[in-house]
Amino acid sequence: MNPEDLPYRPCAGFMLVNPDGLVFVGERIDASAHGFWQMPQGGIDKGEDVRTAALRELEEETGIGAHLVEVIAQGSQAFFYDLPPELLGKVWKGKYRGQEQYWFLGRFLGSDTDIDLNAHDPAEFKAYRWVAPETLPDLIVPFKRDVYAALVAEFGPLI
């Protein structure tokens, strides 16, 4: 399989910050990502607006509705990553080489009691925590680190 022949999967993500300037991360349930943490993100449905997709993914993965979020910014560009060879052809039914991601930054207006990791079936996260933005690249799977570093550089001054 030649990855160059495959498209990128459209994806939207959300960097959610609390009043203390810390970022929400969830620990993925799937065994292949054990011990790795990520921000809420997922596929964009056909015809869906990227902002709508980002807020939908946030709600599905955390239970946090749009009414509890103040959107601060949208990323200035799409961010891309390629799957490592061992995952190519295995995830997303083998249809994609990686993701083209559109990210948003938002302030959480609620409290931790508003978070429900089981809001969607199946759940994606088994635990969550709030972390300093600069630690994000060290928490994510290695093949997504460049994206997270770019997000911290772009959104960091707005936090």
- pLDDT digit string (tens) for 130-159? 999 999 999 999 999 999 999 999 999 999
pLDDT classification of 88: cutoffs 50, 70, 90: confident
Q: How many CB atoms lie within 10 A of CB 153?
A: 11
As a three-state string, the secondary structure of 75-122 is CCCCEEEECCCCCCCCHHHHCCCEEEEEEEEEEECCCHHHCCCCCCCC
Token output for 6: 């495959």
In one-letter notation, the amino acid at residue 53 is A
Task: Give all domains of the chain, ordered by start, each with its CATH number.
Answer: 7-158 (3.90.79.10)
Q: How far apart are CA 117 and CA 28, in angstroms?
A: 11
Q: How far apart are CA 153 and CA 146, in angstroms?
A: 11
pLDDT classification of 33: cutoffs 50, 70, 90: low
Torsion of CA 32, 9, 102, 131, to 10 degrees: 0
SS3 state at 124: coil
Token output for 143: 């093949």
C-alpha dihedral sign at 96, 6, 50, 129: positive
How high does pLDDT run on average in the chain?
94
pLDDT classification of 3: cutoffs 50, 70, 90: confident
In one-letter notation, the amino acid at residue 42 is G
pTM for this one? Answer: 0.94
